[in-house]
């Protein structure tokens, strides 16, 4: 897996941390304030939207007028609160980052999350010392599955695309890394059988836990 690799890049939500259920709860709680009980389909749809897209979706589907800034401010406020209370690191990720650092790998993060939440949680968990660069949704024009985010991380770290290994738990993330010309490892963590099958097709490698990875 690590042959000719000098740079390791991680997705954040669902890969480094168990947070998908928290985003579902955040969206459900927010819309409940407006008298809307979100169905599962809407909750899953909102997981993949930006602030501006969420505002547009709210107006179109629920006749709730929200600005992009209102959505973003809510995400920051509730996101930090919920990440502080409910989100945990994935098993073995702290030790794996320390192992990568010990072996002189460059380490980056590429996430569709926003910077305030990402930075807050990593600082709280004392993880920033083992990360060289973080690229969030706030830092790019187009989010995953576009490869822009991965290009940006590689450029900052002065790494060739072919020397980068990416850990991702989502199809859009794996596609983004593949489009960037990087090796990809799917993190299998309870996705549906159909989705796992698709992840396996797209990825070069698969892991279920970081504690099982050897360098």
> At residue 83, does pLDDT exceed 90?
yes
Rounded to two decimals, what is the model's pTM? 0.93
Provide the pLDDT for residue 74.
87
| Co-location of 11 and 42 in the same domain | no
- Percentage of the chain lying above the pLDDT 90 cut: 73
Q: Is residue 1 in some structural domain?
A: no
Provide the pLDDT for residue 36.
92
> At residue 208, does pLDDT exceed 90?
yes
> At residue 3, does pLDDT exceed 80?
yes
Provide the pLDDT for residue 186.
96
> At residue 79, does pLDDT exceed 80?
yes
Give the mean model confidence (pLDDT) for residues 121-135: 98
Provide the pLDDT for residue 49.
84
Q: Are 5 and 165 a contacting pair, CB within 8 Å?
A: yes
Q: How far apart are CA 183 and CA 173, in angstroms?
A: 12
Give the mean model confidence (pLDDT) for residues 81-99: 97
| Stronger pLDDT, 174 or 43, i.e. the higher one | 174
Of 86, 114, 133, the residue that ends a domain is 86
| Co-location of 110 and 134 in the same domain | yes
Long-range contacts of the stretch 188-196 (C-beta < 8 A, 24+): 189/14, 189/18, 189/90, 195/171
Mean of pLDDT over the chain = 94
Give the mean model confidence (pLDDT) for residues 6-19: 97
Of 28, 51, 86, the residue that ends a domain is 86
Of 33, 58, 86, the residue that ends a domain is 86
Provide the pLDDT for residue 189.
85
SS3 147: coil
Domain of 133, CATH number, reads: 3.40.50.1000
132-150: buried (b, 16+ CB within 10 Å) or exposed (e) per residue?
bbbbbbebbeebbbbbbbb
> At residue 190, does pLDDT exceed 80?
no
Q: Is residue 74 in some structural domain?
A: yes
- Which range of 26-30, 40-44, 103-107 scores highest in mean pLDDT? It is 103-107
Give the mean model confidence (pLDDT) for residues 97-109: 98
- Percentage of the chain lying above the pLDDT 70 cut: 100
């Amino acid at each position: 897996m690590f042959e000719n690799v000098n740079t390791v890049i991680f997705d954040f939500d669902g890969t480094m941390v168990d947070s998908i259920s928290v985003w579902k709860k955040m969206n459900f709680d927010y819309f409940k304030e407006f008298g809307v009980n979100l169905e599962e389909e809407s909750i899953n749809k909102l997981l993949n939207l930006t602030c501006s897209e969420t505002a547009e979706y709210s107006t179109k589907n629920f006749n709730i007028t929200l600005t992009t800034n209102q959505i973003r401010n809510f995400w920051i406020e509730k996101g930090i609160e919920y990440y502080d209370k409910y989100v945990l690191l994935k098993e073995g990720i702290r030790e794996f980052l320390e192992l990568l650092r010990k072996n002189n790998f460059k380490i980056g993060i590429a996430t569709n999350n926003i910077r305030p939440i990402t930075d807050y949680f990593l600082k709280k968990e004392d993880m920033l010392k083992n990360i060289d660069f973080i690229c969030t949704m706030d830092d790019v024009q187009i989010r995953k599955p576009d490869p822009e985010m991965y290009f940006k991380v590689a450029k900052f770290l002065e790494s060739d695309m072919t020397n980068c290994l990416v850990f991702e738990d989502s199809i859009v993330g794996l596609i983004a890394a593949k489009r960037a010309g990087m090796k990809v490892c799917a993190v299998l963590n309870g996705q549906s059988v159909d989705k796992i099958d698709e992840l396996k097709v797209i990825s070069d490698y698969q892991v279920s836990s970081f504690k099982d990875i050897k360098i």
